[in-house]
């Protein structure tokens, strides 16, 4: 007798997952000699075949299957560690799923959960839970002593209020981005081991200071909210090293200068700052992003930045930039800042690796470019460059050179000495056909685009 099983119509691939009736199911004959399909990262999954060897299954990929229910026989897979049910139509989970005592990761993102599956917190083995992009509203996270969860994503839900009950000493990453949260809940301090916290794209305008007491917090993302002031209380937390405040409406930074922090990364791009002045609070910064300030003139004072390596001032109407020559930068980005030439202080940055001066009015590349021996990436497209110094041939570490949309008619022959060069972009210039042919012949090992 032929074995009859249920399959979903999906690219003509046999599949059975439901115990309940579903209108998308049809009956299909299965060849008895059909090879077991254990490659669950593809669309060749056969639930019935997998049930013949459930003890061998540790990873099950059931995403994108238009599922309304999960087959109750899921409980047979006692060695299952990763279960991906993302991008289906699920609203609940069967009780049998709680029989999976080795489960470490469950992906439930892009389903139709209205209530948070709180019972999953009882899993002692569960470490990663993704319930992002569902229809959750104001979930209550009731942590128990058995919860060993390390990562939890609730991103993309209609959450405006979050209640955390019980103390938790395991959760390290919490993603609440793209929700509707207006205030950071005080109960978040119950998550004593939290290291990474993401509140990107919410409606936060007030800051309670509750995060300043979380001793293990290292990364905080408050980008794309409604902040109008710099949350100085955050700086009282010396464990925070990475702070993203981009895409807010911050107009000024007024710090006391008395707080010593361990902040190494600060993103203030896309705000309304008129000036940025160095302060002791920023003394250990390695990366500072200040691009796209919505102000008529943006001035910067970069004194006392002894550790700063990466600086982005792009898309600003720059006023005075003080003390930049005292830095030891590895990356400098100043796209669309009104540059008419290479700044003289650039010569001092012997350790510079990346330069982006695109979309300015630079007319030439000067001789001192040859002194930047560490340079790997030079992006100067959308300028008015007509000439390049022969010294560019000294850039023995250069990998990428983007000269698109300039006014070049030739390249210096010394470019051939850039032995590491792999990408050369020359589109929208004024090269003659003979010059293009010459460049191609000289640099035949390089990927060139005209």
Query: pLDDT tens, position by position, for the chain (450 residues)?
Result: 333 333 333 333 333 333 333 433 322 222 333 333 334 444 566 788 889 999 999 999 999 999 999 999 999 999 999 999 999 999 999 999 999 999 999 999 999 999 999 889 888 899 999 999 999 999 989 887 678 999 999 999 999 998 898 889 999 999 999 999 999 989 999 999 999 999 999 999 987 789 998 999 999 999 999 999 999 889 989 999 999 999 999 999 988 777 788 999 999 999 999 999 988 889 999 999 999 999 999 999 999 899 999 999 999 999 999 999 999 999 999 999 999 999 999 999 999 999 999 999 999 999 999 999 999 999 999 999 999 999 999 999 999 999 999 999 999 999 999 999 999 999 999 999 999 999 999 998 899 999
Task: Decide if 9 is inside a domain.
Answer: no
pLDDT at 259: 79
| Distance in angstroms (rounded) separating the CA atoms of residues 339 and 364 | 11
Cα Rg of the chain, angstroms: 28
User: Within a 10 A sphere around the Cβ of 37, how many other Cβ atoms?
Assistant: 16
Nearest CA among 228, 231, 278, 229 for reference residue 257: 278
Place of tokens 């650039």: 346
3-state secondary structure 338-402: CCCCCCHHHHHCCCCCEEECCCCCCCEECHHHHHCCCCCEEECCCCCCCEECHHHHHCCCCCEEE
Read off φ and ψ for residue 24, nearest 5 degrees: -85, 0
3-state percent breakdown (helix, strand, coil) of the chain, nearest 5: 15, 20, 65
Give the DSSP letter of residue 34.
Answer: P
Pair 416, 440: CB distance under 8 Å: no
Cα end-to-end span (Å), the chain: 66
pLDDT at 44: 62
Task: Decide if 347 is inside a domain.
Answer: yes
> What range defines the domain where residue 340 resides?
332-450
Read off φ and ψ for residue 72, nearest 5 degrees: -65, -15
pLDDT at 6: 34
| Distance in angstroms (rounded) separating the CA atoms of residues 44 and 371 | 57
What DSSP string runs through 99-135?
A: G-TT--EEE--SS--SS--GGGGG-SS--EEE--SS-
Helix (H, G, I), strand (E, B) or coil at 24: coil
Number of domains into which the chain is organized: 1
| Distance in angstroms (rounded) separating the CA atoms of residues 348 and 137 | 55
User: Within a 10 A sphere around the Cβ of 66, how many other Cβ atoms?
Assistant: 13
pLDDT at 272: 97
Read off φ and ψ for residue 293, nearest 5 degrees: -85, 130
Query: Domain of 364: which CATH number?
Result: 3.80.10.10
Place of tokens 């950071």: 184
pLDDT at 147: 84
pLDDT at 144: 72
Task: Retrieve residue 229's tokens.
Answer: 């002031």
Task: Decide if 436 is inside a domain.
Answer: yes
Task: Decide if 238 is inside a domain.
Answer: no
E-only strand ranges, 124-172: 128-130, 140-142, 151-153, 163-165
Task: Decide if 402 is inside a domain.
Answer: yes
Task: Decide if 262 is inside a domain.
Answer: no
Task: Retrieve residue 230's tokens.
Answer: 């710099």
Write down the pTM of the prediction.
0.87
Beta bridge partners of 244: 221, 267
Residues 6+ apart with CB under 8 A from 207: 184, 227, 231, 233, 234
Helix (H, G, I), strand (E, B) or coil at 321: strand
pLDDT at 49: 87
pLDDT at 67: 94
Task: Decide if 158 is inside a domain.
Answer: no
Beta bridge partners of 377: 354, 400
Pair 406, 385: CB distance under 8 Å: yes
| Distance in angstroms (rounded) separating the CA atoms of residues 240 and 232 | 12
Read off φ and ψ for residue 437, nearest 5 degrees: -65, -40
Place of tokens 């056969």: 46
Read off φ and ψ for residue 371, nearest 5 degrees: -85, -10
Task: Decide if 432 is inside a domain.
Answer: yes
């Amino acid at each position: 007798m032929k074995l009859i099983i249920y399959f979903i119509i999906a690219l003509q691939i046999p599949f059975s997952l439901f115990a309940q009736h579903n209108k998308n199911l049809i009956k299909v004959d299965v060849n008895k000699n059909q090879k077991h399909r254990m490659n669950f990262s593809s669309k060749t999954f056969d639930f019935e075949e997998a049930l013949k060897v459930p003890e061998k299954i540790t990873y099950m990929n059931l995403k994108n299957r238009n599922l309304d229910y999960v087959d109750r026989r899921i409980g047979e897979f006692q060695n299952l560690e990763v279960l991906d049910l993302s991008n289906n139509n699920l609203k609940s989970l069967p009780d049998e799923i709680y029989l999976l005592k080795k489960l470490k990761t469950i992906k439930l993102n892009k389903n139709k959960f209205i209530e948070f599956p709180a019972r999953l917190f009882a899993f002692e083995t569960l470490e990663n839970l993704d319930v992002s992009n569902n229809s959750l509203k104001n979930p209550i996270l009731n942590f128990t002593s058995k919860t060993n969860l390390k990562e939890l994503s609730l991103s993309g839900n209609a959450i405006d209020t979050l209640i955390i009950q019980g103390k938790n000493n395991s959760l390290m990453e919490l993603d609440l981005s793209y929700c509707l949260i207006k205030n950071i809940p005080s109960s978040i301090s119950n998550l004593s081991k939290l290291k990474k916290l993401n509140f990107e794209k919410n409606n936060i305008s007030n800051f309670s200071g509750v995060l300043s007491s979380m001793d293990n917090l290292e990364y905080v993302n408050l980008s794309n909210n409604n902040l109008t002031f710099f949350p100085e209380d955050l700086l009282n937390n010396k464990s925070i090293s990475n702070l993203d405040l981009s895409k807010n409406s911050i107009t000024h930074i007024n710090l006391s200068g008395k707080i010593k922090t361990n902040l190494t990364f600060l993103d203030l791009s896309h705000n309304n700052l008129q000036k940025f002045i160095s302060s002791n609070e920023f003394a250990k910064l390695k990366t500072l992003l200040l691009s796209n300030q919505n102000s008529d003139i943006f001035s910067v004072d970069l004194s006392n930045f002894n550790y700063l390596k990466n600086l982005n001032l792009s898309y600003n109407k720059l006023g005075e930039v003080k003390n930049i020559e005292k830095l030891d930068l590895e990356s400098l980005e100043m796209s669309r800042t009104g540059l008419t030439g290479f700044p003289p202080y650039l010569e001092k940055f012997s350790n510079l690796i990346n330069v982006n001066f695109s979309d300015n009015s630079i007319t030439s590349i000067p001789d001192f470019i040859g002194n930047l021996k560490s340079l790997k990436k030079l992006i100067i497209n959308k300028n008015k460059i007509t000439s390049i110094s022969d010294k560019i041939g000294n850039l023995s570490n250069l990998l990428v050179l983007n000269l698109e949309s300039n006014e070049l008619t030739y390249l210096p022959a010394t470019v051939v000495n850039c032995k590491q060069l792999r990408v050369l972009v020359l589109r929208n210039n004024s090269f003659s056909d003979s010059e293009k042919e010459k460049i191609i012949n000289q640099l035949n090992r390089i990927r060139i685009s005209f």
